[in-house]
Structure 1
Amino acid sequence: MRQNLLSVLALLTGTLFLFLGNGLHSLLMPMRGATEGYSETILGFFGTSWAAGFVLGCIFARRLVKRIGHVRAFSGFISIIAITALATGIYVDPTFWILSRAITGFSSAATAMIIESWLNERATNESRGMIFSFYISITLLGVVGGQMTVALADIQTQTLFLMAGIYYCFAMLPTLVSNAQSPKPLNEVRLDLVALYRNSPVSFIGILLVGIANGAWGT
């Protein structure tokens, strides 16, 4: 068990910083938008565009991950998230911010795919529950810590956007400098929603409703 955790320590450390950035940036944008006088509809689109990008990332990002490998894809997508976080601090515009959230959502789906497939490969049947419980705990700790960071500076300045970018940059480092073996390439899997529904209609509808509720709550 201990050996399994050590094999993914670099990845989990990067995950912590990734979600510190996510927690900070996802809270900062609607707060700053409200002070800029954006309507509730515009603020809602921040969450909607992120979710749309996430769905597209789930469908299309796996091809790039399979082509270039987990480590480079992980760093590349986090770089994109960092760039968008910094850009939103430089250029304050609702249309640009909505687009940036879609890009962030796409990249977030890719990073989640990379992290979870990486953890799943390293875990054994005996350690899988423990490893994924650590993973979920780290993501929640990161989100909470990132959101608390908002209190450290004035949301009207660029400081918090810069801090989010710094978190994301730190998220790339552990896996880049680690000598741990990279995971195997992702297997190609075709998304078939009809077959998924036929296999378990109750679960399909339940997950859909949970997603709708989470989307409304998160927005």
Structure 2
Amino acid sequence: MASVIKIYALFLGSALLMFGGGLQGLLLSVRGAEENFSLLALGLIGTGWSVGFVAGSITVPLVVRKVGHIRAFSVMAAIGTITILLNLLLINDISWILLRALSGFCFAGAAMIVESWLNEVVDNRNRGTIFSVYVTINMAASTLGQVAMSITGVTGFLPFVIGAISFICAVLPTAMTSSPQPRPLASAKLDIRLLYKTSPVAAIAAFSVGMANGSFGTLAPVYGYRQGLDASGIALLFALTALLGATAQIPFGRLSDKIDRRLVLIGLSSAAAVIGALTVLINPGDGWIMYVLFAAYGFCANPIYAVAVAHANDFARDGDFAKIAGGMLLILGIGLALGPVVSSMIMNAYHPVGLFIVTAAFHGALAVAAFLRMRVRASVDAADRAPFQPMGNDKQNTPESLALDPRGETDDIADVDDIDLDAAIKDGDV
């Protein structure tokens, strides 16, 4: 019974974290556009988040080793709360770029600590179920955070305060726990060479998804604002996109268990490229066509990364899941950081609809790469594949997410009690 209560408390902490993150991410893009920030500045706000998130994923395990889980989580939640309140007090582009990087760092650390605690109370019998529930709760909470903007609006102090309350409340489940501290945080082994050797398509997919979805997540709210949507309209637009994207993971994932996963990647990325091209050609206003195109984009683009991770795992040796998925996280993070900057420049040159030139180009490139690789390498037999596993938001996966993933339960994920962290960093293992 105690374990069940602990799991639900951790789910609640994670949900509060994701609710605040979903609200803050959408809020800053729309409020920044309303404050007449340049497109480049808005893109750099998205880049700041990704750089901070990757930095947090790599360095927070060292912080936790020194001060412990509860103190580290409290620090992350407190700084995250202060950061969103400073977004309200310092409304200028340079401050927001720097604060967004700090926010990404804190968010990565807090998420990893929650996931570490959750990892401590699951076992291999229920790991798959717990992981699926965890992913579902995170997606739902993040979407609700975006929907909340339709109620709070983007002007005034209310949305920032609501986000701050959500972040600080996320500390309660861990602060009130009487259980022993969990094991040290997992450190991703970022072996990009192993990833590319194992699956070039997966490496290309990680970068393409980062470029396309990083651009979309940061700058599509700006596009909606420029098209005349108000806060409620933009919140509904993104909630619909997220909902359709989450729903699509299961059917396409199950399909990829039965046929060559690269065929699924080709189909999804080609469809996403066509949707991007149609958006450029039609350049819809604020009517129903925009909602249809965005929903279709989410439906096609969201499952790509999870299918790519599954494809890489099909060719991985036993025990290499963490290394390969960790490498994909790093490549994804690079794409998430670069995408908003590149897209902001294209949008300056070709008006806001230029955003979809970028998404169409990178999804199209992935489709071509997957097709060419099919001519070089045969697929793994369906009977020999690990079942597809849905994954959370591309921008919110951490090394601890990989440790919780049931596909990594036999992996030798780096344990900070068993390695010299300073030497590991020098060798590039963390």
Same fold, TM-score > 0.5, yes or no: yes
Could you tell me which residue of structure 1 aligns to residue 130 of structure 2? 131
Over the matched positions of the two proteins, sequence identity in percent amounts to 39
Q: Any residues of structure 2 matched to 1:50-199 within 5 Å, and which?
A: 50-186=49-185, 191-199=190-198
Gaps of 5+ in 1: none
Q: Deviations over 1:25-77 (max 9, x none)?
A: 11111111111111222111111111111111122121002222222222211
Counterpart of 1:28, as a letter, is L
Kept in 2: contact 1:16–1:138 (CA 8 A): yes
User: Number of paired residues?
Assistant: 218
Q: Deviations over 1:166-195 (max 9, x none)?
A: 111111112111223321223666543334
2: CA distance between counterparts of 1:157 and 1:193? 45
Kept in 2: contact 1:7–1:180 (CA 8 A): no
Kept in 2: contact 1:25–1:161 (CA 8 A): yes
Q: Deviations over 1:72-112 (max 9, x none)?
A: 22221111111100111111111000001111111122123
Taking structure 1 as reference, are residues 134 and 34 closer, same or farther at Cα in structure 2, changes over 3 Å only?
same
Counterpart of 1:85, as a letter, is I
Taking structure 1 as reference, are residues 193 and 97 closer, same or farther at Cα in structure 2, changes over 3 Å only?
same
Counterpart of 1:108, as a letter, is F
Gaps of 5+ in 2: 219-430
Query: Does 105-114 or 47-56 show the bigger shift?
Result: 105-114
Kept in 2: contact 1:64–1:73 (CA 8 A): yes
Taking structure 1 as reference, are residues 96 and 117 closer, same or farther at Cα in structure 2, changes over 3 Å only?
same
Could you tell me which residue of structure 2 aligns to residue 212 of structure 1? 211
Taking structure 1 as reference, are residues 170 and 33 closer, same or farther at Cα in structure 2, changes over 3 Å only?
same
Taking structure 1 as reference, are residues 189 and 48 closer, same or farther at Cα in structure 2, changes over 3 Å only?
closer
Query: Does 165-174 or 206-215 show the bigger shift?
Result: 206-215
Taking structure 1 as reference, are residues 123 and 212 closer, same or farther at Cα in structure 2, changes over 3 Å only?
farther
Counterpart of 2:60, as a letter, is A
Kept in 1: contact 2:10–2:114 (CA 8 A): yes
Q: Deviations over 1:103-134 (max 9, x none)?
A: 11111221232233332232211111111111
Could you tell me which residue of structure 1 aligns to residue 22 of structure 2? 23
2: CA distance between counterparts of 1:101 and 1:26? 9
Counterpart of 2:49, as a letter, is W
Taking structure 1 as reference, are residues 103 and 148 closer, same or farther at Cα in structure 2, changes over 3 Å only?
same
Query: Does 147-156 or 195-204 show the bigger shift?
Result: 195-204
Kept in 2: contact 1:30–1:43 (CA 8 A): yes
Could you tell me which residue of structure 2 aligns to residue 43 of structure 1? 42
Query: Does 110-119 or 69-78 show the bigger shift?
Result: 110-119
Could you tell me which residue of structure 2 aligns to residue 11 of structure 1? 10
Kept in 2: contact 1:22–1:143 (CA 8 A): yes
Query: Does 149-158 or 128-137 show the bigger shift?
Result: 149-158
Task: Looking at secondary structure, tell me which structure has more helix per residue.
Answer: 1
Counterpart of 1:34, as a letter, is A
1: CA distance between counterparts of 2:73 and 2:188? 20
Larger Rg: 2
2: CA distance between counterparts of 1:111 and 1:163? 18
Counterpart of 1:178, as a letter, is T
**What's the RMSD between the two structures over aligned residues?**
2.0
SS at match of 1:8: helix
SS at match of 2:171: helix
Q: Deviations over 1:134-191 (max 9, x none)?
A: 1111111211111122122342211111111111111111211122332122366654
SS at match of 2:207: helix
2: CA distance between counterparts of 1:210 and 1:134? 24
2: CA distance between counterparts of 1:91 and 1:37? 15
Taking structure 1 as reference, are residues 188 and 85 closer, same or farther at Cα in structure 2, changes over 3 Å only?
closer
Kept in 2: contact 1:17–1:142 (CA 8 A): yes
Counterpart of 1:8, as a letter, is I
Counterpart of 2:111, as a letter, is A
